[in-house]
Amino acid sequence: MSVKKFAVATYNDEAVLFPAVKKVRGAGYKIHDVYTPFAVHGLDVALGEKESDLHIAGFIYGITGTCTALGFMGWIFTTDWPQNFGGKPHFPLPAFIPIVFELTVLFAAVGMVLTFCYLNQIMPGVKKHIFNPRQTDDKFVMAIEVDDTTEADTIAFLKGTGAEETNVQIAESEWWYGRWDKKEDYEIQQQIA
């Protein structure tokens, strides 16, 4: 748990967000994260994120599935319990293809989804700070970590980038286990303040 202070800017269109991201990065601010209601193409490039390697993980899982299926069936039919099905060979590769293919797909899909959840740190019961409840609806939200000395300056800069609304929030920057129908301590303290 690490509660930090963020300058938060809300934009109402991706067409405003893109130049804003460019300006903010150009001015040397380090963007904590940008939250959007849908996948905005090109935003990852604008933020300087490198391309995801998830597909490579998927390939490795897939190959694992292929090898598991081939190895397991091959071992059973040739070594563990060889059976004679109408005089056919003990290692009938063409007849193995369907199950080999299915296990390839199964391993790749399950592995990738689990990796996706792990990388994004998402899981049932996980809770994260939502800077603006409409960031999953129609708003585009940018958060920049600040301290007492940089706070006023950052907010002033964000106001100049076309933000519809700016504010400062004390927020948990990581994920934690929690219930979405309950407020956390730091949120309640912030409300009182």
Partner 1 sequence: MHLKYESIIREPLVDGNKTYHQVTEDICAPVEKAPTKLWKIGFFISAAMLLFGVFSVTWEVYWGTGVWNLNRTIGWGWDITNFVWWVGIGHAGTLISAILLLFRQGWRTGVNRAAEAMTIFAVMCAGQFPIWHMGRVWDGFFVLPYGNTRGPLWPNFVSPLLWDVFAISTYFTVSLLFWYSGLIPDFATIRDRAKTKFRKMAYGIASFGWAGSAKHWQRHEMLSLVLAGLSTPLVLSVHTIVSFDFATSVIPGWHTTIFPPYFVAGAVFSGFAMVQTLLVVTRKVLNLEEYITIGHIEAMNKVIVLTGSIVGVAYLTELFIAYYSGVVWEQEAFRLRVLGPYWWAYWAMMTCNVVSPQLFWFKKLRRNVWFTFFMSIIVNIGMWFERFVIIMSLHRDYLPSSWSYYTPSWPEVGFYLGSFGLFFTCYFLFAKYFPVIAIAEIKFILKTSGDNYKRDMEKIEVQDNQHFLEEQSHHH
Residues near partner 1 (CB under 8 A) are 14-15, 33-44, 47, 49, 51-52, 54-55, 58, 62, 72-73, 76-77, 80-81, 83, 85, 88, 92, 95-96, 98-99, 101-103, 105-106, 108-110, 112-113, 116-117, 119-130, 133-138, 175, 179-181
Question: For residues 79 and 149, which CB has a smaller minimum distance to partner 1 in the complex?
Answer: 79
Phi, psi of 135 (to 5 degrees): -70, -15
| For partner 1, the closer CB: 140 or 157 | 140
Shortest distance in whole angstroms from residue 192 CB to partner 1: 21
Q: How far apart are CA 39 and CA 125, in angstroms?
A: 23
Shortest reach from residue 133's CB to partner 1, in Å: 4
Smaller CB separation from partner 1, 55 or 159: 55
Q: How far is the CB of 110 from partner 1 (least distance, A)?
A: 7
* In contact, 138 and 40? CB cutoff 8 Å: no
**Tokens matching residue 97:** 């293809």
Residue 29 vs 129, nearer CB to partner 1: 129
CB of 139 to partner 1, least distance (A): 8
Q: Which is nearer to partner 1, 138 or 153 (CB)?
A: 138
Decide whether 108 or 155 has the Cβ nearer to partner 1: 108
- Residue 123 CB, shortest distance to partner 1, in Å, is 6
Three-state SS across 61-106? Answer: HHHHHHHHHHHHHHHHHHHHCCCCCCCCCCCCHHHHHHHHHHHHHH
User: Measured between alpha carbons, how far is 81 from 67 in angstroms, rounded to an integer?
Assistant: 19
Report the alpha-carbon distance of residue 141 to residue 16 in Å, rounded: 11
Amino acid at 45: V
Burial (CB count <10 Å: 0-12, 13-18, 19+), residue 36: middle
- 98 vs 94: CA distance, rounded Å: 8
Q: How far is the CB of 5 from partner 1 (least distance, A)?
A: 18
Which amino acid is present at 107? Answer: F
